[in-house]
């Protein structure tokens, strides 16, 4: 079995480039759709790491497709069913094969919506300092990676590339989203 070369950045000429995120590249497909390419870039703690993981984008796409399909009857999603290979030039199809979606263009939420079941990462940092995560008081004596009594909603900001997301309270999320939308998301 031979490994494919990792895709660090897509380079499509047939569509208008819109944005390069930590892991995904976005292109316009008309006015109402996007092509989302999941690259092999690796991001952890808001930093793009120097070594890509070959086929990571394909694995992410397969996992996403599985869950979108599995949960499609529970909650609608942004997938269009349009084959990514059909919206790019023939010589660009290898950049999207197995690693892209054509989606409806929607307005993104200005927060990250995180549900935690364990005290890890930035949640552990918050807990050590305050005994709470995102303003939610937790039992004393929890250790790193302790299972929480029940899952909690812990929103954060969406920081620009190079900056770090910051945990925020539900009250702060309500200010950014409005009470009704914050309730829907949480």
Q: What token pair was written down for 110?
A: 């200005």
Prediction pTM value: 0.81
Class of domain 16-104: alpha beta
End-to-end CA, the chain: 44
CA 133/CA 150 separation, integer angstroms: 13
Q: What is the DSSP string of 146-171?
A: PEEEEEEE--EE-PPTTS---B--HH
CATH class of residue range 111-185: alpha beta
Question: pLDDT averaged over the chain?
Answer: 94
Whether 46 shows a pLDDT value over 50: the answer reads yes
Where do the CATH 3.30.470.20 domains begin and end in the chain? 111-185
Task: Note the pLDDT of residue 159.
Answer: 77
Sign of torsion over alpha carbons 94, 95, 96, 99: positive
Is the pLDDT at 2 greater than 60? The verdict is no
Chain region(s) in the chain for CATH 3.30.200.20: 16-104
Q: Which residue from 144, 145, 150 is spatially nearest to 136, judged by alpha carbons? A: 150
pLDDT in tens, 80-105: 999 999 999 999 999 999 999 999 99
């Amino acid at each position: 079995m031979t490994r494919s070369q990792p895709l660090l950045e897509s380079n499509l000429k047939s569509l208008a480039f819109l944005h390069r995120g930590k892991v995904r590249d976005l292109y316009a497909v008309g006015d109402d759709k996007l092509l989302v390419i999941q690259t092999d870039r690796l991001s952890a703690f808001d930093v793009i790491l120097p070594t890509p993981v070959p086929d990571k984008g394909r694995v992410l796409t397969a996992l996403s497709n599985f869950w979108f399909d599995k949960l499609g009857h529970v909650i609608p999603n942004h997938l269009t069913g349009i084959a990514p290979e059909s919206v790019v030039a023939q010589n660009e199809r290898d950049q999207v094969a197995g690693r892209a979606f054509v989606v409806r263009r929607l307005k993104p939420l200005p927060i990250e919506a995180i549900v935690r079941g364990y005290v890890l990462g930035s949640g552990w940092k918050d807990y050590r300092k305050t005994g709470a995560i995102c303003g939610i008081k937790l039992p004393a004596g929890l250790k790193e990676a302790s299972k929480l009594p029940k899952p909690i909603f812990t929103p954060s900001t969406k920081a620009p590339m190079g900056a770090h997301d910051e945990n925020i309270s539900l009250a702060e999320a309500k200010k950014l989203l409005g009470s009704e939308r914050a309730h829907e998301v949480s």
